[in-house]
Structure 1
Amino acid sequence: MNLRAPQAACPTFTAWRWLALLTLGAWLTGCASLPSEVDRPVSTALANPEQTRIGNAVQQRAARAGTRNDSGFALVNSAELAFTSRMALINAAQKTLDIQYYAIHADETTERMFDALRAAAARGVRIRILLDDFNTAGKNAQVLKIAFEPNIELRLFNPLPGNRRSLFFRILGSLKDVDRIQRRMHNKIFVADNAVAITGGRNLGETYFGQGEGTNFVDADVLAAGRIARELSHSFDQYWNNPLAYPVQSLMTRDEIEKIKPPSRAAAAAAPPVAAAQAPDGPSVQPTPASPAATQGMRTTTAPDGTVSVIEPLPDSTNLALLDWTWAPAVLLVDKPSKIAADADDVQQAQDTTVDGLLQLMSQASGDLLIVSPYFVPGQRMMDQFAAIRQKGVRIRVLTNSLASNDAPAAHIGYARYRKELLALGIEIYEMRAEQKGSLTSFGSTGSSGSAGGSRASLHSKIVVLDQRLLVIGSMNLDLRSQLQNTEVALAIRSSKLAGETIALIEPAMARGAYKVELLDGQLMWRAPQDSKLADTRSEPDASTGLKLMLKLLGPFAPEEML
């Protein structure tokens, strides 16, 4: 998820309460500040990855493949594999683990991963975690405690000053620097021994691994080995050693983090009401014994229609050597960390961002362009490029979120402005259906009882497939925020095989898990997914009256670069 425009305020707030909040915010603005003298020891990625088990296995697999390509890839096409592949890399690492994310959520799934990280650190693995600071308030502040473990370093990128009890008050306390705080490090990188990496759209947390009890994200990653993994590590080093990366210890103590720890679910339930309100060839990694968190029994979730589904605990690991690895030419697209500090106008004039590179690739399409972007706010410049691509006769298909499935409804406002124009250009649009389960088994499938948590799905994958031969997968959305404000990372892989595998995952999702939007007599029509037994509709499907009203009221006024 990106930092998006604030949602509408609760109507129960009175004017004097808002005045009090703004007054407090002004006071916090004057008081909160970041430390000026910070000790940031410079460190870099492992120099000789081939001397580790993982690096040696990569070299052996490349030799057996008999290829000149120096990078190998395997699609991570399910939530289960997304979790177990990361666990496999943690378990197999001998020297280093470099982990860079926009968000890490404090929950049982993350704690299982952190347990594995602690075990790796205990056997001598150097662990560096670089986390964007925006989502480290409230419950999620507890993930920062891992910075105080031996052999583990955690730095926060572009931090917000002030108390971490509440994200709302942290934002209020940073109003004097609003241009900076809305620019976030959105990169997602996970590298073991500078030899094998994972990148894509996922953050870390149960909703990204099919374990959420409500909405789960439909996402995609790719495992990358060899030279491209080393390039990802080099990118990590640039961010890690940047002046905007603050060691946690320079911002908080362990005691301060502990003091803002929210009560456990059991404690909150037992507390009196008033108190509660206050309150590519990976190594041959064999599955390890299940952790206590994995053996606590099944959890259940109940859908709005009363259907009860079981959330099965994820396995602890997977054997990466058994995956289908493809060796192919690839290019790393990555923003420089200086993009966070740059003026948006300077960024646009430079035209060297990850999204700009992606747009340049897209302009080379000659036959077919398949786009998956959960937040799709093209802007006029991108629209002009789409028009030029269509003039060449290229078929363009876009899968994005519907208003109901979008976890950031404000982003839908910017997309809705261009929907009719996109359709008029002949671009095919599919919007993800919300009322389906996030998938553990395949991209965008509705799953089955016992295979996934939650009863709703929200698209979070960021994928472009060009002419069925070039696959681009990463953290970027096709919107102005990714283009001008956030830093992003992506891999462009030239492989008909990987492109075909990805298309085979996406097309069924469009057919059976998404509404096809059409323009009929100048008005929008949503065609129901195949075999869904749903009716076509002329209004935003599955969306509440409140969401539809928000779209109409805020649509004409919200600035696109903020969505």
Structure 2
Amino acid sequence: MHSSHATHPTARSGAWHTFWRCFAMITLLSWATGCASLPANTDRRASTAFNAPDQTPLGQLVHARRAQAGARSDSGFYLLDGVEIALTSRLALIDGAQRSLDLQYYAIHADASTEVILQRLRDAARRGVRVRILLDDFNSVGPDAQVLRLAFEPNIEIRLFNPLPGSRNSLVGRILTSLHDVPRIQKRMHNKVFIADNAWGITGGRNLGDRYFGAGEKQNFVDLDVLAAGRIVRDMSASFDRYWNNELAYPVQTLLDKEDLEKLRELAVPGAQSVKSGGVIPAAAAAPAPGAVLPGVTAAEVRQADRPSMDLRKVELRWAPSTLLVDKPGKIGPGDDEVDAGDTVIDGLMSALRLAQKDVLIISPYFVPGTQMMAVYEELRKRGVRIRVLTNSLASNDAPAAHAGYERYRKDLLAMGVELYEMRSDPESAKQLVGSGGDQRPKSDAGKEPDSRASLHSKAVVIDNRLSIIGSMNLDLRSQLKNSEVALVIRGSPVAQELTRQIEAMLAGGAYRVEQRQGKLHWAAPKGASFGDEDKEPGASAKLRLIVRLVAPFAPDEML
């Protein structure tokens, strides 16, 4: 697919000159720092999910709820669209577990929200629950490396998937020492799964951290999960086991020890520069509060671990036929080719889209279709299928480079009749769409909630108002070709109608509709909105627009 915008030869030549200068600098730095390598992964012991969920209270609760509903389907679902239930549902699974807890995530950030979850996990392990945490290794650096402290607790194992060698002081440093292995390090485990006793589970788009639970100071994600119960959870556990026992899953102790973590913590002293943000870490973050798992939290944040969890007996489950789409671990294999990847999550999603007869509703924070996906959308439009897409605006996108990829297809999508909506990023939209995180939201010195901005992070598709697909995948080439993903496919109108209502509420309350008028883009506000129309990227500064224009010519779609 060709770009709709031409680039002047002189401008392109100057941009290439800048690019090659930067490339040369990075290459020299990588030579200076040397090539790091990973240790042998020989201490990995195989383990599998608890295979008798019916013997636990959580498993018995599933049977009781199903019998109460008189359901024929063997799996139940409940949408988690708010930050409060997203947190309290996870706490409920931890509190209710008696045998096992399995967590698989792309990112777990060391902050107040995570402290609540990790402290409950530690308490569960101390009462005899086996805890396994599988974490992609890309983000476990700097302050976030402190999450790995939990690996040294009894009954808790943490493994890092597809790790990067080198020091955990700096992500940039680790990347520089891994430039000889770029094809591998750019492939990441993006799955997000939270399972208790192989009976109840959660999957969706949400990582663990303040920004995912409405407590971010500058940015909060509008996100979506689904709580699942019954047979489908056993499929989620089988997927977890495949990744957990894969040769790319390294036990934390293979890569670092307690002393390494202590040295990293010592970086967080008054006046020291934060390796994560480049700013100064306050004195309050230098030492752990009494009872805290993470060393950077305050005593007030530790007390939040006492917050109540969701009552699973009262959750209104929707019982429906379902299947799990999940990529094989081989998709993250070495080299440029997908090793033993088989059919991918995006392949399955595209196959489902082709079956649409009337309506497709897509919500994807990063929307970079590529040639194959564009062909599917064009096929649907020729058959008269309505397609609506909600994605991030430039201002709400936390990855401007991804917006550069989306921008290449925007006019072509509009030309074929795809309806495009872009998230509004202002604090008003954040408060309306993200919701309140309760007592966890950080307060300013004046005691007011911070003016954080909204960023879309939900990933879901609704087809003909009867098929729902909710998971970790974006509708982009990175999810299709590089990252491993997981998604639930739920058949039935009740879930689809509820999900449609939620997405349409976002369209009506916090999104612009993108239109093309006389060859120029126009952003139309919803009827009755408190904000007006725009004729340029809404809320985006001139500097941000310039950055996207500079990045666009050199960023391959599959890297975005």
For 1:121-156, what per-residue CA distance to the aligned partner results, in whole angstroms no more than 9, with x for missing partners? 000000000000000111111111110000000000
TM-score by length of 1: 0.86
Query: What is aligned with 2:504?
Result: 507
The one-letter code sitting in structure 1 at the alignment partner of 2:98 is: Q
Query: What is aligned with 2:333?
Result: 341
Q: Does 1:329 align with 2:334?
A: no
CA distance in 2, matches of 1:447, 1:244: 35
Query: What is aligned with 1:253?
Result: 257
The one-letter code sitting in structure 1 at the alignment partner of 2:357 is: S
The one-letter code sitting in structure 1 at the alignment partner of 2:465 is: Q
Q: Does 1:25 align with 2:30?
A: yes
SS of residue paired to 1:156? strand
SS of residue paired to 1:153? strand
Task: Say if 1:533 and 1:157 are closer, same or farther in 2 by CA, change over 3 A.
Answer: same
Q: Is the 8 A contact 1:512 1:530 kept in 2?
A: no
Query: What is aligned with 2:462?
Result: 465
The one-letter code sitting in structure 2 at the alignment partner of 1:531 is: G
For 1:1-45, what per-residue CA distance to the aligned partner results, in whole angstroms no more than 9, with x for missing partners? xxxxxxxxxxxx9x9999786544224343x11012521110000
For 1:348-388, what per-residue CA distance to the aligned partner results, in whole angstroms no more than 9, with x for missing partners? x9761001100100111101100000000000111011000
For 1:384-418, what per-residue CA distance to the aligned partner results, in whole angstroms no more than 9, with x for missing partners? 11000111111100000000000011000100000
Deviation of residue 558 (structure 1)? 1.4
Q: Displaced runs of 4+ in structure 1, greater than 6 A?
A: 15-21, 291-295, 445-452
Which of the numbers 59, 66, 69 marks the counterpart of 2:70?
A: 66
Query: What is aligned with 2:147?
Result: 143
What percentage of aligned pairs have identical amino acids? 55
Task: Say if 1:496 and 1:323 are closer, same or farther in 2 by CA, change over 3 A.
Answer: same
Query: What is aligned with 1:372?
Result: 363
Q: Does 1:357 align with 2:348?
A: yes
TM-score by length of 2: 0.87
SS of residue paired to 2:499? helix
Q: Is the 8 A contact 1:369 1:394 kept in 2?
A: yes
For 1:206-261, what per-residue CA distance to the aligned partner results, in whole angstroms no more than 9, with x for missing partners? 10000111100000000011110000000000000000000000000111011011
- For structure 1, which runs of at least 5 residues remain unmatched after alignment? 1-12, 280-290, 299-311
Matches for 1:278-357 after TM superposition, within 5 Å? 296=300, 315-341=307-333, 345-346=337-338, 352-357=343-348
CA distance in 1, matches of 2:208, 2:429: 16
SS of residue paired to 2:131? strand
Q: Is the 8 A contact 2:183 2:336 kept in 1?
A: no
Query: What is aligned with 1:210?
Result: 214
CA distance in 2, matches of 1:324, 1:496: 15
CA distance in 2, matches of 1:238, 1:275: 40
Q: Is the 8 A contact 1:195 1:230 kept in 2?
A: yes
Query: What is aligned with 2:475?
Result: 478
Q: Is the 8 A contact 2:83 2:437 kept in 1?
A: no
For 1:148-191, what per-residue CA distance to the aligned partner results, in whole angstroms no more than 9, with x for missing partners? 00000000000000000000000000000000000000000000
Q: Is the 8 A contact 1:29 1:176 kept in 2?
A: no
Q: Tell me how many residue pairs correspond in the alignment.
A: 519
Q: Does 1:159 align with 2:151?
A: no
Deviation of residue 449 (structure 1)? 13
Deviation of residue 65 (structure 1)? 1.6
CA distance in 2, matches of 1:334, 1:252: 30
CA distance in 1, matches of 2:39, 2:422: 45
Task: Say if 1:459 and 1:512 are closer, same or farther in 2 by CA, change over 3 A.
Answer: same
Q: Does 1:424 align with 2:415?
A: yes
CA distance in 1, matches of 2:359, 2:21: 56
SS of residue paired to 1:524? strand
Q: Does 1:86 align with 2:86?
A: no
Q: Is the 8 A contact 1:105 1:204 kept in 2?
A: yes
SS of residue paired to 1:321? coil
Deviation of residue 296 (structure 1)? 2.8
Deviation of residue 315 (structure 1)? 3.6
Q: Is the 8 A contact 1:161 1:170 kept in 2?
A: yes
Q: Does 1:561 align with 2:548?
A: no
CA distance in 1, matches of 2:168, 2:422: 36
Query: What is aligned with 2:395?
Result: 404
